[in-house]
């Protein structure tokens, strides 16, 4: 074990990501079930979209040459509904056409019905002369034949599932879900539901980390084996870790990684593999542990997060989330940073890089939660993201700051 000198977050992340080799296994899943999964191969279109020139409007298809002056009158020679194809357009006539229906050969414009007057004799008057291409969606204008519509490494959103379906993909190759075992450590922890709030013994606290970590892991596409609170005995801990490492890619724990703390997880991990304790120059979050255990079928990663709930949440977001995405071969590991004006002052800079809980206000700026303590989970619910503040950086009202929205970090 090495209690190292503090690392910058960027260095720590680079080092951690270097350990995260993409899982080689690919699952083929129904497109219905692929939400949030990472695409394992480029998805190419075997057709063009739209397949044919088609109408963008309910109206009349015609040749511009036949309606070259405003108020031209044309007979209606055919009717083309979506799902049917018409016949080549007889010259000097219009075709009644509906949205999405293929534009008949010969027609070069569609005039929407609101711009046509239906005469008593069944002919139409075209109020304004159309220009070629009017209200026609061109074949292939969305997707060309052979185009990559979704690149390998894309994390699939509901919109991406629709796009995949639009080119006929009923199934998609996706990275296997990382299997993650989750442990909490700490003899003070009590599971909600086992002891009523009024009966809590002094010093006891409810285990909150287990709830948000399990949920965050699931949202990052992981299959979670939740092992609860590790018993406070060396042999039992070693046995639990050994079993977890045999069937998981990652073991994630919270608590017990502070320097010098007496804790049973550290020696147990070391008995089965190796463990490095990192001091990361961020606030909240400083202590962090990375190790690896021999799971019998290759190494199992060990990641130990700090116990303070906000520290645990923030270190998950800035370190574990990109790690898990990299295991799945995702091409984007970092959230999009928004540059927004601070509507608060932050006069007391810390030597460490700080992640402050803030939320956007209706004036497009950021308000700060008043209590930035690392145990104050309220801040993470009140806030809708983190202000990323550099070491030694103070903030004055109106300064532009970097903001990481929870909406993306939790997605
Ligand atoms: P540790 O990192 O184990 O020293 O814990 C730091 C602080 O976080 C202590 O006040 C712990 O009681 C608290 N803590 C540790 N684990 C949890 C947890 N699972 N849920 C809530 N608080 C925790
Ligand atoms: Mg502890």
Q: The domain spanning residue 33 has which CATH number?
A: 3.90.105.10
404 and 357 share one domain: yes
Number of the ligand closest to the Cα of 311: 1
**Is 170 a member of any domain?**
yes
Q: Are 358 and 368 in contact (CB under 8 A)?
A: yes
Question: Which position has the token pair 């800079």?
Answer: 349
Q: Rounded to an integer, what distance in angstroms lies between the CA atom of residue 268 and that of residue 262? A: 12
**Nearest by Cα to 291 from 306, 310, 270, 308:** 270
Q: Rounded to an integer, what distance in angstroms lies between the CA atom of residue 23 and that of residue 42? A: 17
What pLDDT, on the 0 to 100 scale, is given for residue 261?
A: 64
303 and 316 share one domain: yes
Q: Rounded to an integer, what distance in angstroms lies between the CA atom of residue 349 and that of residue 394? A: 5
110 and 181 share one domain: no
Q: Are 78 and 84 in contact (CB under 8 A)?
A: no
**Nearest by Cα to 2 from 258, 275, 253, 306:** 275
**Dihedral-angle region of residue 33 (phi above 0 means left; psi in -120 to 50 means alpha; beta otherwise):** alpha
Q: Are 229 and 201 in contact (CB under 8 A)?
A: no
Q: 257 C-alpha to center of ligand 2: Å?
A: 8
Name the residue of 191, 192, 205 to mutate for ligand 1: max ligand atoms within 8 A of Cβ.
Answer: 205
Name the residue of 308, 311, 316 to mutate for ligand 1: max ligand atoms within 8 A of Cβ.
Answer: 308
Q: 309 C-alpha to center of ligand 1: Å?
A: 7
**Is 332 a member of any domain?**
no
Q: 308 C-alpha to center of ligand 2: Å?
A: 9
Q: Are 32 and 89 in contact (CB under 8 A)?
A: no
DSSP 383: -
Please say which residue of 327, 349, 378 terminates a domain. Answer: 327
Name the residue of 182, 184, 185, 186 to mutate for ligand 1: max ligand atoms within 8 A of Cβ.
Answer: 186
CATH code for the domain in which residue 393 is found: 2.40.340.10
281 and 350 share one domain: no
Number of the ligand closest to the Cα of 184: 1
DSSP 104: P
Q: 276 C-alpha to center of ligand 1: Å?
A: 20
Question: Which position has the token pair 């919270």?
Answer: 254
pLDDT digits (tens, 9 = 90+) for 157-200: 999 999 999 999 999 999 999 999 999 988 899 999 999 999 99
Q: Rounded to an integer, what distance in angstroms lies between the CA atom of residue 284 and that of residue 372? A: 9
102 and 92 share one domain: yes
What pLDDT, on the 0 to 100 scale, is given for residue 3?
A: 52
213 and 352 share one domain: no
**Is 79 a member of any domain?**
yes
Number of the ligand closest to the Cα of 307: 1
CATH code for the domain in which residue 109 is found: 2.170.190.11
**Is 333 a member of any domain?**
no
What is the residue with the minimal CA distance to atom 7 of ligand 1? 308
What pLDDT, on the 0 to 100 scale, is given for residue 1?
A: 45
What pLDDT, on the 0 to 100 scale, is given for residue 26?
A: 98
User: Taking the CA atoms of the chain, what radius of gyration do you get in angstroms?
Assistant: 30
Q: 262 C-alpha to center of ligand 2: Å?
A: 9
Name the residue of 206, 254, 311 to mutate for ligand 1: max ligand atoms within 8 A of Cβ.
Answer: 254
| Ligand 1: nearest atom to the Cα of 185 | 16
| Ligand 1: nearest atom to the Cα of 257 | 2
Angle at 174 between CA 213 and CA 12, to 5 degrees: 45
Residues of the chain with pLDDT under 50: 1
Greatest Cα-to-Cα distance within the chain, rounded to the nearest angstrom: 94
Q: Rounded to an integer, what distance in angstroms lies between the CA atom of residue 406 and that of residue 410? A: 6
CATH code for the domain in which residue 263 is found: 3.40.980.10
Q: 186 C-alpha to center of ligand 1: Å?
A: 7
Q: Rounded to an integer, what distance in angstroms lies between the CA atom of residue 325 and that of residue 310? A: 21
Q: Which helix (H) or strand (E) holds 381?
A: helix 378-382
219 and 312 share one domain: yes
105 and 38 share one domain: no
What is the residue with the minimal CA distance to atom 17 of ligand 1? 307
b vs e for 112-139, b when ≥16 Cβ sit within 10 Å of the residue's Cβ? bbebbeeeeeeebebeebbeeebbbbeb
**Is 342 a member of any domain?**
yes
211 and 307 share one domain: yes
58 and 153 share one domain: no
Provide the number of structural domains found in the chain: 4
259 and 386 share one domain: no
**Is 1 a member of any domain?**
no
194 and 242 share one domain: yes
Number of the ligand closest to the Cα of 207: 1
Q: Rounded to an integer, what distance in angstroms lies between the CA atom of residue 229 and that of residue 52? A: 60
What pLDDT, on the 0 to 100 scale, is given for residue 262?
A: 64
- Ligand 1 pocket: which residues have CB below 6 Å? 184, 186, 188-189, 205, 207-210, 254-256, 258, 261, 306-309
Q: Which domain holds residue 396?
A: 338-409
**Is 322 a member of any domain?**
yes
DSSP 285: T
Q: Are 306 and 256 in contact (CB under 8 A)?
A: no
**Is 4 a member of any domain?**
no
């Amino acid at each position: 074990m090495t209690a190292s000198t503090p690392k910058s977050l960027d260095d720590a992340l680079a080092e951690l990501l270097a350990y995260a080799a993409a899982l080689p296994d690919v699952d083929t899943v129904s497109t219905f079930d692929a939400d949030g999964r990472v695409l394992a191969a480029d998805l190419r279109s075997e057709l063009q979209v739209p397949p044919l020139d088609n109408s963008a409007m309910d109206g009349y298809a015609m040749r511009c040459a036949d309606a070259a002056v405003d108020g031209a009158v044309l007979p209606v020679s055919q009717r083309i509904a979506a799902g049917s194809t018409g016949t080549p357009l007889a010259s000097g006539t219009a075709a009644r056409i509906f949205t999405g229906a293929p534009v008949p050969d010969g027609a070069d414009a569609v005039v929407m019905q609101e711009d046509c007057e239906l005469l008593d004799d069944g002919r139409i008057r075209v109020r304004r002369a159309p220009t070629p291409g009017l209200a026609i969606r061109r074949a292939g204008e969305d997707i060309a034949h052979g185009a990559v519509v979704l690149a390998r490494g894309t994390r699939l959103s509901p919109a991406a599932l629709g796009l995949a379906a639009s080119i006929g993909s009923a199934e998609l190759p996706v990275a296997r879900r990382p299997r993650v075992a989750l442990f909490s450590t700490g003899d003070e922890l009590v599971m909600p539901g086992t002891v009523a709030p009024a009966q809590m013994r002094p010093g006891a606290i409810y285990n909150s980390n287990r709830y948000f970590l399990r949920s965050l892991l699931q949202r990052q596409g992981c299959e979670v084996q939740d092992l609860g609170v590790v018993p406070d005995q060396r042999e039992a801990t070693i046995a639990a870790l050994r079993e977890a490492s045999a069937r998981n890619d990652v073991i994630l724990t919270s608590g017990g990684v502070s320097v010098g703390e007496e804790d049973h997880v550290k020696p147990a991990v070391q008995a089965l593999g190796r463990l490095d304790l990192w001091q990361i120059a961020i606030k909240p979050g400083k202590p962090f542990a990375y190790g690896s255990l021999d799971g019998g079928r290759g190494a199992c990663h060990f990641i130990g997060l700090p116990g303070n709930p906000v520290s645990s949440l923030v270190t998950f977001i800035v370190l574990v989330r990109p790690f898990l995405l990299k295991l799945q071969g995702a091409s984007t590991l970092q959230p999009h940073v928004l540059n927004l004006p601070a509507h608060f002052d932050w006069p007391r800079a810390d030597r460490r890089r700080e992640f402050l809980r803030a939320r956007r206000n209706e004036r497009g700026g950021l308000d700060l939660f008043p209590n930035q303590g690392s145990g104050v989970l309220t801040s993470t619910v009140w806030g809708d993201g983190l202000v990323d503040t550099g070491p030694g950086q103070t903030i004055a009202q109106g300064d532009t700051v970097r903001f990481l929205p929870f909406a993306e970090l939790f997605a």
